[in-house]
Amino acid sequence: MPVRRRKIAKNPTAVQAPPLPTPVAIERQAYGGYGVGRCDGLVVFVPRTAPGDVVRVRLVAQRRHWAVGEVVELLTASPWRVTPPCPLYAECGGCHLQHLAYARQLEVKTALVRDSLARLGHLPEVPVAPTLPSPQPLAYRNKMVYHYDAARGALGLLDRHGQRILDVPRCLLSDPRAEAAMAEVRALAAALPPLRQVLQQVQVQVGQRTGDVLVTLVVSAPLPAATAAALWQALQPLASGLCLHHKRRQTPALFAGDTVVVGGRGVIYERFGEHLLPLTPHTFAQVNTAQTERLHQLLREAAALRGDEVVLDLYSGSGALAFALAPYCARLYGVEVQPAATRLAQQQAQALGFSHCTFRTGKVERLLRRYLAAGLRPDLAVLDPPRAGCRPEALEALTRLRVPRLLYVSCSPPTLARDLQRLHQLGYDITGVQPLDMFPQTYHVECVAVLTRRSA
């Protein structure tokens, strides 16, 4: 039976409505960064509030039994509250929990994981460990994507209603090297009309262990050669490479067209543990390098490989998790739906000397069925799906392979709860869940779940 999750408008548009007649006392924190209270039998979700707050609220979205509100007045402040370090926090949509001390943020995330497993997955007995803190609560992001508004000359993030681009001179979550490159792009857009007319977004990736910086400008039309050369000349002291991506279709995805290297290198490198891994403009990688290394260590400890096992890495991307486990197993098979990511993983496996690693492109459920037909019997499967989680067909195909142990890596407690419930029904026990704070100051949390197959 599928889990139903209450859908809350992420960016409701405020309407001109009078405040509720009764103040709302915030009782708990909910997924999405909302504080939750009640008023006259109505459950009210209020962003940027904390348990213990008493607030006067104006409703901006309403259903039969619940509503979303905005704070009109803070009547009583929670003891959990602190002054947000960012002066743009009240307006910006990038952060959700800066009004909480960092230790409280970790407690909130642990509670959210436990609540998701119990309420959505009906798994109240699953042990959930305290959330592991990030080594850096600020300046941890190794990648940022900024939007550009040519009419206002604004380069930054969407406001928390998703309605306009908020000019962000400096983001406190971003690596300072990325912010230096963003500041230079902001100045260049003001000085170069050809760039200002076509610039849409800017992506900056930083190799925090290597010092590499890759800038990618997303444009609506190609730039004149002279403008492109001027851009690289100005950015060269700050960047290892500059790419231009001509976005030919307006889609929610960042990339939808052709990418060319204007200057320097179109590939940079980051070191995760002992391995140096490539990053291109299109590469998916966790945004918190130090915490990613901790994630890899957790997986190695949970896997407890002896060296003779066969391992499946599902939703393998460009192979970061695979390479963390590859030195400790006999065979590793990666499955990824994006061909470019598969090619990058295979190239890197060859560069690292991992001849026992094979990466294939395709849907997980289809390739699992082929592995079953070929007689493959894995000892361990690692799942790291996108935020939407795994398709039911993939979980069922995995079960037919009778894999004795699973490690499920998730960035979404609600979809993790749904998939763990399904795996439990299919014959797996969840021995524990370890949350990690990969995304400080936001409501997002990474989790590693450990599962073992019940004996028949």
Out of 171, 329, 357, 411, pick the active-site residue: 411
| Amino acid (one-letter) located at 2 | P
Measured at the CA of 261, the angle between CA 255 and CA 267, to 5 degrees, comes to 80
* Residues pairing with 42 in the sheet: 39
Return d(Cα 290, Cα 273) in angstroms, integer. 9
Nearest Cα to Cα of residue 123 among 414, 390, 424? 424
User: What single string gives the DSSP state of each residue in 335-379?
Assistant: EES-HHHHHHHHHHHHHHT-TTEEEEES-HHHHHHHHHHTT---S
Residue 198, φ and ψ in degrees, nearest 5 = -120, -10
Return d(Cα 356, Cα 437) in angstroms, integer. 32
Q: How far is CA 277 from CA 82, 83, 294, 401, in A?
A: 38, 38, 16, 31
CA 326 to chain centre: 24
The question of whether 447 is a catalytic residue gets the answer no
Return d(Cα 329, Cα 57) in angstroms, integer. 56
Return d(Cα 301, Cα 241) in angstroms, integer. 36
Measured at the CA of 83, the angle between CA 147 and CA 156, to 5 degrees, comes to 5
Return d(Cα 338, Cα 335) in angstroms, integer. 9
353 sits in the region (left: phi over 0; alpha: psi -120 to 50; else beta) called left
Q: Which residues are catalytic?
A: 411
